[in-house]
Chains A and B, each alone.
Chain A
Amino acid sequence: MKELRFAVKNTIPIFFTYLFIGIAFGILMTDAGYGVLLTTASSLFIYAGSMQLVMVPMMTSGASLLSLAVMAFFINARHIFYGIGFIEKFRKMGWKYPYMIWTLTDETYSILCSVKYDEGIDEAKASFLIAMLNHLYWIFGSFIGACAGQFLNVDMRGIEFSATAFFLVVVVNQWREYRTRLPFLTAAVSALGFYLLLGKEHFLIPTLVSCLAALVFLRKPVEKREGMTDE
């Protein structure tokens, strides 16, 4: 199975991130009085790290279903933007199509938009395995955290930086690969601008919206620089 080996190789960095953050989530859930079953089910079905961590204190305080839905909308709204580059690719994947959409997390997105498929690799199969392995790491981590959290007394504070480091590596690779600098600059300028203007809790969505608008506006120069032909 060369696709499986390829998928494992490309998901190793996420394995550690998902395992340890999954464990943290599992511990949080059991401390709040929710069992292994609910913990594992949230990771299987919701599969969105930050929302799951926010959900726990909201559930213990008995937040209404509406407020949970609104919170989920705002925390995960960034995911609206992730599908845009994968519509044609996922469509061709048959029964795997809905699963690819369901499991499109930050980490899976960043692997799929940066991975270079080796010669002779079945791309559809490899991307499906990448999505599934990440999902399994996350479920496995939360399961371990829920079952054995009280025995794991290791201080893993700061392990979440591995996700940041991974995203940064992807940006460095993209910087080398793209000839245009406009997407990077647009993103940096609008992120910092909205961060200063709106604060750290509210800058994300306006930033993504303005990047999208700015890049539509900058289409001509970007396409020219990238040599994208008008088919």
Chain B
Amino acid sequence: MNNTMYPVAAIGVITVVTLALRGFPFLLFGNRPLPKTVRYLGKALPPAIMTVLVIYCLRDTSFSQAPYGIPELAACALVVILQVIRKNMYLSIIAGTVCYMVLIRVM
């Protein structure tokens, strides 16, 4: 394919696929009233999806070689502890990220 058109076409194709995936449930149910099961899933699914996303974000952690996942585990523990006792999302995120960034450099 032509050299200038190729990246444009590539970006176009990826845009269409991504948009189709994000739009799928909306297209599926159109303007019809939602089935009760779907409405229930709208409430029950978010905590499951968020839990899966956290695990997905940590998928590259290696427990079998140094630093044995310690930066990830320590930073996650810090985030949870701070969020439970201080309930300040900004503090939890900043402290957790700084902790992680320091640990991957020193360990």
Contact = CB atoms under 8 A, between A and B. Distances in A.
Interface string A104-125: 1010011001100000000000
Interface residues of B, number: 66
Size bracket of the A interface: 35 or more
B7 A34 contact: yes
A211 interface: yes
B2 interface: no
Contact of A85 (B45, B52, B58): B45
A203 B45 CA distance: 18
A171 B13 contact: no
B29 interface: yes
B46 A200 contact: no
A85 B13 CA distance: 27
A62 interface: yes
Interface in A57-82: 58-59, 62-63, 65, 68-69, 72-73, 76-82
B66 interface: no
Given A77-B21, A84-B42, A172-B84, A184 B89 contact: no
Interface in B21-40: 21-26, 29, 31, 34, 36-40
Given A72-B14, A164-B76, A169 B92 contact: yes
Contact of B48 (A106, A170, A184, A223): A184
Q: Name A's interface SS.
A: helix
Contact of B18 (A51, A187, A188): A51
Contacts of B54: 164, 167-168, 171
Interface in A167-191: 167-175, 178, 180, 182-184, 186-188, 190-191
Given A65-B10, A85-B46, A168-B54, A161 B96 contact: yes
Interface of B: 6-19, 21-26, 29, 31, 34, 36-60, 71-72, 75-76, 79-80, 83-84, 89-90, 92-93, 96-97, 100-101, 104-105
Q: Which 5 A-B pairs have the closest CB atoms?
A: A85-B42, A83-B25, A187-B51, A158-B101, A187-B48
Interface of A: 12-13, 34, 38, 41-42, 45-48, 51, 55, 58-59, 62-63, 65, 68-69, 72-73, 76-88, 90-91, 101-102, 104, 106, 109-110, 113-114, 157-159, 161-175, 178, 180, 182-184, 186-188, 190-192, 195, 200, 203-204, 207-208, 211-212, 215-216, 218-219, 222-223, 226, 228, 230
27 contacts: A45-B12, A68-B13, A72-B17, A73-B21, A81-B25, A81-B49, A83-B22, A84-B25, A87-B26, A88-B39, A101-B22, A102-B19, A114-B50, A157-B104, A161-B75, A161-B101, A165-B96, A165-B97, A167-B50, A167-B57, A168-B54, A174-B50, A188-B51, A195-B55, A200-B59, A211-B45, A216-B41
